[in-house]
């Protein structure tokens, strides 16, 4: 009789960390693309924060789109947590003595996720302020400015710590190709370079303002590219990893015989 329910015995519940690293990275990539499309096609560039006459109507018109972006970003952050946990396990399984550095990357990643979600909540607050009520430009401005710093300089420091540590353990463990470590370190360098953007004002059109397009291009985008690359390389190497494991078992069995 065929089995209908999944086999939930403890000895069978061994999720493949390589597969989950790849799946979560692909989920991050797909959700990022979806978020970018909603952001660029339905929201556009916000007016200056000191332009109260334009800020309130703009926030009201884009409230639903803003909440949609935050809705997507919530699932993106959940996928990122899965990726960070899977990546940590992948490293510690290969080099147990590298666990503290893998933990450093994982911990910084969790703080990054928390900061991002708080920033999303502030952005959602500015959108909700306009639904069924008269927009308050001063409240919208305060919430937006707080979100910009979290999305910008604070997020960049945490991201740099995540990828710098990840690059080191990629080199040291050999769990990923060495070139992925160089990608991680390049990402760390661009994030550090963007940290001073908090002194660049709040203009949405200025390239290196706080939370401006420069932050997205040189900090957020490279980080998500590294996550996607690391995941794809890992899941692509799954079959190769299984072949190596089978060969090792065969040699061990031959030696024992």
Domain ranges of the chain: 16-236
Its pTM stands at 0.85
What are the distances in angstroms from CA 207 to CA 67, 121, 216? 25, 24, 10
List, in order, residues 6 or more apart from 38 with CB less than 8 Å away: 65, 68, 69, 72
- What is the predicted pLDDT for the residue at 255? 76
Spatial distance between the Cα atoms of 159 and 27, rounded to a whole number of angstroms: 19
pLDDT truncated to tens, each residue of the chain (257 aa)? 455 555 666 655 667 788 889 999 999 999 999 999 999 899 988 889 888 889 999 999 999 999 999 999 999 999 999 999 999 999 998 888 989 999 999 999 999 999 999 999 999 999 998 988 888 999 999 999 999 999 899 999 999 999 999 999 998 888 888 899 999 999 999 999 999 999 988 888 888 888 788 888 888 889 989 999 998 888 876 555 556 556 656 777 777 76
Report pLDDT digits (tens) over 48-107: 988 888 999 999 999 999 999 999 999 999 999 999 999 999 999 888 898 999 999 999
């Amino acid at each position: 009789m065929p089995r209908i329910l999944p086999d939930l015995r403890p000895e069978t519940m061994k999720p493949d960390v390589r597969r989950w690293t790849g799946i979560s990275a692909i989920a991050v990539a797909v959700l990022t693309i979806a978020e970018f499309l909603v952001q660029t096609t339905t929201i556009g560039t916000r007016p200056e924060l000191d332009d109260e006459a334009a800020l309130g109507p703009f926030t009201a018109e884009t409230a639903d789109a803003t909440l949609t972006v935050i809705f997507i970003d919530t699932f993106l952050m959940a996928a990122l947590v899965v990726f960070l946990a899977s990546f940590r396990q992948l490293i510690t399984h290969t080099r147990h003595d590298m666990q503290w550095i893998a933990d450093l990357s994982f911990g910084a990643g969790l703080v990054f996720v928390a900061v991002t979600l708080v920033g999303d909540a502030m952005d959602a607050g500015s959108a909700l302020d306009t639904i069924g009520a008269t927009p308050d430009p001063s409240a919208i401005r305060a919430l937006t400015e707080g979100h910009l710093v979290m999305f910008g300089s604070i997020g960049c420091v945490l991201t740099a710590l995540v990828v710098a540590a990840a690059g080191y353990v990629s080199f040291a463990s050999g769990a990923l190709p060495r070139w992925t470590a160089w990608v991680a370190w390049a990402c760390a360098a661009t994030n550090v370079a963007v940290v001073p953007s908090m002194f660049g004002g709040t203009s949405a059109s200025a390239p290196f303002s706080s939370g401006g397009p420069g932050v997205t291009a040189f900090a957020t985008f490279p980080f998500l590219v590294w996550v996607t690359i690391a995941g794809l390389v890992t899941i692509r190497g799954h079959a190769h990893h299984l072949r190596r494991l089978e060969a090792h078992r065969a040699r061990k069995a031959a030696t024992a015989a």
